[in-house]
């Protein structure tokens, strides 16, 4: 028997392909279309803490009272949360696949309360995106990592559904943090989140947005750290995000140790119809190589294999150019 069933963060999926959080998953009808195209789960468009704060700041006098800003932030949070709960319920009503809610946070906010209401609305799991970078000259080592575990700890105490943490690539040691997240109760982790990419228009001398969509080149970092982390923190469930553009990329991710992949950019560029041939490739590859399901080859090339570990831990780049004259 040959099938594509897999388990990610305790969720039983019909295949490894998850639609990641994006603008299009903010609509229940779109989510149903993704399911019809073959997606195994969908991550809803994130509830953004940053947007709440910026909207509140834009509606208040910067020289005014902080009470006004606090009131507006509370009002906007309540309004956006109610809209988000409606999105969860509408998507659950239309879809039979797992629906994963998403909170995009950068401070130790009131996410525990939000998470509880999201669970009550019917979400099958919750993905936490800790989107932030550290730039302060005076900085306590490990503070950024503690932010992840603090947010997870407060949320984990309030919900019973699986909690997934989507990490940014701006970490010095993802393996260590993943181990700590597992200890704090995370059922899954996604590698990696895509940060905003600034560029400069040299004629206008203005900052502009850089490349919006991922390419296959972005997959390398996720493969490296999934291969390393899945060998070291075996109890964690992994998903690869960023650079998955083909069925072969799905296979690569599973070989590195992932149970699933999250895709976004390729769906914007090629549409939901990309899903079917990508899954057909994975199924055909399994048949050709004698595997019955993704679990048969998941992690086959992670760092538990000494030869793979050497490749994944390698930092020297010049050797690749030794033959180039």
pLDDT in tens, 197-240: 889 999 999 999 888 888 888 999 999 999 999 999 999 999 99
Note the pLDDT of residue 66.
Answer: 62
What are the Cα distances from residue 135, in Å, to 57, 132, 139, 161, 196? 22, 10, 8, 34, 16
- Burial, 324: exposed, middle or buried (Cβ in 10 Å; 0-12, 13-18, 19+)? exposed
Q: Which residues neighbour 304 within 8 Å (Cβ) at sequence distance 6 or greater?
A: 231
Most confident residue range from 67-76, 137-146, 267-276: 267-276
pLDDT in tens, 74-133: 666 778 788 999 999 999 999 999 999 999 876 666 677 788 999 999 999 999 998 777
pLDDT in tens, 252-281: 999 999 999 999 999 999 999 999 999 999
What single-letter DSSP state applies at residue 44?
P
Domain 6-321 has CATH 3.20.20.70: yes
Note the pLDDT of residue 62.
Answer: 52
* Confidence tier at 296 by pLDDT (50, 70, 90): very high
According to DSSP, the residues that pair with 41 across neighbouring strands are 18
Q: Is the pTM of this model over 0.85?
A: yes
Note the pLDDT of residue 104.
Answer: 84
Could you count the other beta carbons within 10 Å of the beta carbon of residue 146? 14
Closest by alpha carbon to 278, among 84, 70, 16? 16
Closest by alpha carbon to 228, among 314, 313, 315? 313
């Amino acid at each position: 028997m040959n099938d594509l069933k897999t388990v990610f963060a305790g969720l039983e999926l019909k295949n490894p392909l998850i639609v990641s959080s994006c603008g299009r998953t903010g609509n229940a009808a779109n989510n149903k279309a993704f399911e019809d195209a073959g997606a195994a789960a969908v991550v809803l468009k994130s509830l953004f803490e940053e947007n709440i704060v910026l909207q509140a700041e834009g509606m208040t006098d910067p020289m005014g009272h902080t009470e006004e800003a606090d009131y507006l932030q509370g009002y906007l949070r309540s309004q956006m949360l109610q809209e988000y709960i409606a999105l969860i319920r509408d998507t659950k009503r239309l879809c039979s696949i797992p629906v994963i809610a998403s909170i995009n946070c950068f401070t130790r906010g009131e996410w525990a309360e939000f998470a509880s209401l999201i669970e009550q609305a019917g979400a099958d799991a919750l993905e936490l995106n800790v989107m932030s970078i550290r730039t302060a000259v005076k900085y306590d080592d490990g503070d950024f990592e503690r932010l992840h575990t603090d947010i997870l700890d407060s949320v984990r105490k309030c919900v019973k559904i699986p909690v997934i943490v989507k990490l940014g690539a701006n970490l010095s040691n993802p393996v260590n943090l993943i181990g700590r997240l597992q200890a704090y109760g995370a059922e899954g982790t996604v590698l990696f989140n895509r940060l905003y990419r600034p560029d400069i228009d040299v004629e206008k001398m203005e900052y502009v947005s850089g490349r919006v969509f991922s390419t296959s080149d972005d997959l390398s970092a996720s493969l490296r750290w999934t291969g390393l982390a899945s060998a070291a923190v075996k109890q964690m469930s992994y998903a690869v995000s960023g650079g998955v553009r083909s069925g072969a990329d799905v296979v690569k991710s599973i070989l590195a140790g992932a149970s699933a992949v999250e895709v976004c950019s390729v769906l914007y560029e090629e549409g939901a119809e990309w899903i079917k041939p990508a899954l057909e490739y994975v199924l055909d590859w399994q048949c050709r190589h004698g595997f019955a399901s993704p679990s048969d080859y998941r992690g086959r090339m992670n760092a538990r294999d000494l030869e793979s570990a050497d490749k994944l831990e390698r930092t020297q780049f010049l050797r690749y150019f030794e033959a180039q004259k």
